[in-house]
Amino acid sequence: MKFLDRPPRFLFFTGKGGVGKTSIACATAIRLADAGRKVLLVSTDPASNVGQVFGIAIGNRITEMPSVAGLSALEIDPQAAAQAYRDRIVGPVRGLLPDTVVKGIEEQLSGACTTEIAAFDEFTALLTDSALTAGYDHIVFDTAPTGHTIRLLQLPGAWSGFLEAGKGDASCLGPLAGLEKQREQYRAAVDALAGSQRTRLILVARAQQATLREVARTHEELAAIGLLQQHLVINGILPQNETESDPLAAAIHEREQDALQNLPAVLQPLPCDRLMLKPFNMVGLTALRQLFDGTTTTTEVAVDSPLELDEPNLSELIDEIAKDEHGLIMLMGKGGVGKTTLAAAIAVELARRGLPVHLTTSDPAAHLSETLNGTLDNLAVSRIDPQLETERYRQHVLETKGAKLDEQGRALLEEDLRSPCTEEIAVFQAFSAIIRESGSKFVVMDTAPTGHTLLLLDATGAYHREISRQMDTTGMHYTTPLMRLQDPKRTKVLIVTLAETTPVLEAASLQADLKRAGIEAWAWIINTSVAATSAKSPLLRQRAANELREITAVATQHAQRYAVVPLLQQEPIGVERLQALVGEQRLPT
């Protein structure tokens, strides 16, 4: 493994949910400990399953691993850290300020940025307190802070005054308001992150074009703030020997090889390791010690009983949706789970049934719109450019709120506008004009804002101001987008996930986030399921068996209704292939 050559003291693993960063971090910690080093493994992942991987309860305390000499682990609970952080800030003003103001502050502190900053607050000491970690040769972090969070921590120490003066619609600067005392410690932590002799960042991805594009963006964002010691690990590549008797395996292998050959240019200079897909779950020491083994033997892999998955398909969900004859259909989920493709498949099927449909997306892959354009009656397609809309929104805020700010205040406002929330706000404002059409037709919307962003917008009045401007409703009654989303008769929210542990946990967290905003998820869609195919490859059949637990969890614990969509041999692009996803006209998988 190239990323283990002359390893520095700090190793950070980062990547989207489901790419395997926890497994790789755990395997790395074991490899270093087996080599005689003293190692501390630290997880700050909200969906952490490090304890589950090792089969031992860890929690928020340093715990020695009895089965691995020299290895200890610590799971920082970012949700608990965030709640404790909120309590420290909100507690002193509770009862002194009006309830509506307190509620606004609490919502300001409920987003992903607060969780990440609170987690960073927890593990800062591990980077800076030499006495605390003096006994360890290496500290391995599962999940690194984003470039956005690191930039926030580098900003001038004027957050509280900036917010109190009302100079910004606080989205991410709010969480920083109570951190003034830790500024020196944060500065030392950020310096440690950027130190090439002490720190290495390992970007974890899958051999998929969308995932690799996302990793390329992460690489550029981190490199721009001085974190240059980066390695790339491409995980879960299907071995060629699995393709001999299985057309599905052959198609997957071909897609992955194409993605690897067309690696984004910015990633090509990075040192890169490739890990083969394993037939077993990464749980327990035996499995983890085999992760970096380049050979895979699958001839002895067997599934105890035939896989006869009999789960609802997408067609059954669309049957229920179609009964309403119009309405807003919103697809939500983490990046890389296939929201855009499923939105297109639902739109195509509704149009095929003779219903009027407007499919709108902010996905950068405009080829989907080009593929669909003019190919079906009843279907209109629009694409919103996120970069264009975000820049338009940023300029508007800078020209209004930023006009009278000094240099420091403007720097704070500009960083606030780099928040992930800003793009959600800008794109959704562009979507808001289209939403009105759902009173007379189906509007299928891909890429939706989180519940936190919706509440934040509503709390600041941005929705009402924007809708008033667009509709010229002075003195008239009107319905804001949030009110429409909260009405189950008008809106159906579909949460998209994969049949893997981390994506399911992340989807459950998103569902709770939406619930706080008064929005109930109507259904879940489990996408690209191997268990829903007729795979013949022993490795894929074992992977399919591994999916069954997650499918059961969705069906019994999380979803009111759900559908399982199979992994297809060919990329689902174009009307025919999109209809194959629906389930009524399945093509061979």
Rounded CA separation 331/445 (Å): 6
Amino acid (1-letter code) at residue 256: E
Residues belonging to the active site? 18, 20-23, 45, 502
- Using CA atoms, how far residue 156 sits from 35, 123, 395, 406, 568, in Å, is 43, 22, 22, 13, 51
DSSP state of 335: T
Residue with tokens 């080599």, as numbered in its chain: 35
Tell me if 517 sits within 8 A of 482, measured CB to CB: yes
Angle of helix 451-460 versus helix 99-108 axis, rounded to 10 = 140
| Residue 184: alpha-carbon gap to chain centroid | 31
Buried b / exposed e along 188-200 (16+ C-beta atoms within 10 A)? ebbebbbbeeebb
Contact 142, 22 (CB under 8 A): yes
Please state the φ and ψ torsions of residue 53, each to the nearest 5 degrees.
-60, -40
* CA dist., res. 553 & res. 408, Å (int): 49
Asked if residue 382 lies in contact with residue 476, where contact means CB atoms within 8 angstroms, the answer is no
**Is there a contact between 168 and 422 (Cβ–Cβ < 8 Å)?**
no
* CA-closest candidate to residue 333, choices 491, 208, 494, 113: 494
Cβ(108)–Cβ(93) below 8 Å: no
Burial class (CB in 10 A: 0-12, 13-18, 19+), 103: middle
Orientation angle between helical segments 407-416 and 386-400, nearest 10 degrees = 150
Per DSSP, the three-state class of 48 is coil
Q: b/e string for 33-71 if b means 16 or more Cβ within 10 A?
A: beeeebbbbbbbbbbbbbeebbeeebeeebbebeebebb
**Which residue in this structure is represented by tokens 């031992």?**
56
Which tokens is 45 given? 């992942």
Which of 55, 14, 32 has the alpha carbon at shortest distance from 142? Answer: 14
- Reference 542, options 368, 304, 335, 372; nearest CA is 304
Gyration radius from the chain CA atoms: 24
What SS3 class is residue 458? helix
d(CA 169, CA 174): 9
Concatenated DSSP letters for 76-96? Answer: --HHHHHHHHHHHHHGGGBTT
Which residues is 72 bridged to in the sheet? 40, 64
